[in-house]
Amino acid sequence: MRADADATPLADQQRALHAAMLGAPAGPGLLREPTQREPLLRIYQNAYRARLIAALRDNHGVLPRAMGDEAFDALAEAYLQAHPSRHPSIRWFGHRLAEFMAAHPALVPHPAFVDLARMEWALREAFDAADAVPMTPQELAALPADGWPQRVLRFHPSVQVLTLDWQVEPAWRALQGEDEPELEEPEAGEHPLIVWRPMLETRWRTAANALEAQLLAAAMRGEDFIVLCAMAGDAARVVGTIQQWVAEGLLLP
């Protein structure tokens, strides 16, 4: 005989409590003493929202400082209402924040903050990516020459490439310290940002040029060496780019 856990009174009460913490009216059976219902629920509601907003701050360490407390808190409250936490770990609360910001520009004092949120989340994802030992220059040199035409490069699990519309990296770097720097207006300009974590330290940099960005996109979607060379029109440039990726820890053996 199979027990249906979702039909138990406890499960019903848990769902009702969760809905009440998100602002739904409290049902009559949620608390035994009706006179206790409202004050106790307010405690839970306030603590629940405060903890998730604090998690959102932690998961986007620079963004709250760049936006300011008032603007960020308003954004966080709206995001919480639209996207309640669905993951057992609050580490992942906020994974749709940049998307939400882009869809609600009235909550964002400057459009560059969307890119800042995207950059920060990519850095956190890279930090939590699976561990893998990058290829060494010696391993690259030892690869058999006859296998290069059809060789498909393998990237470290942490590698991501973002297309940003604003130059937010200077602001991100300036806000890493304890001081409150005077931030300059970010410059507009579409550019690819590479984020990865070869070992223990998360790294990022802007693609060196348009060709590197094109080669990186093609290699990450599985194009082989011959295709990369055709794109570049020069095998030596592709080899040099691959050597750089190996030196930085972007590739796997």
Question: Would the pLDDT of 87 be above 90?
Answer: no
| pLDDT confidence bin for 85, thresholds 50/70/90 | confident
Q: What is the pLDDT of residue 129?
A: 96
Provide the CATH number for the domain formed by 130-253 in this structure.
3.90.930
Judge contact between 86 and 94, C-beta under 8 A.
no
The pTM for the full model equals 0.82
User: What tokens does 233 get?
Assistant: 């029109």
Q: Say how far apart CA 109 and CA 172 lie, in whole Å.
A: 16
Examine the pLDDT at 172 and tell me if it is beyond 70. yes
pLDDT tens profile 33-65: 555 556 666 666 667 788 889 999 999 989 999
pLDDT the model gives residue 50: 84
User: In the chain, at which residue ranges do the beta strands (DSSP E only) sit?
Assistant: 154-155, 160-166, 188-196, 203-206, 251-252
pLDDT at 5 over 80: no
Answer whether residue 1 shows pLDDT above 60. no
State percent of the chain over pLDDT 70.
Answer: 84
Report residue 3's pLDDT band, with 50, 70 and 90 as the boundaries: very low
**Domain residues of the chain, as ranges?**
8-109, 130-253
Report yes or no: 30 and 37 within 8 Å, Cβ to Cβ: yes
Q: What is d(CA 29, CA 246) in angstroms, rounded to the nearest whole number?
A: 62
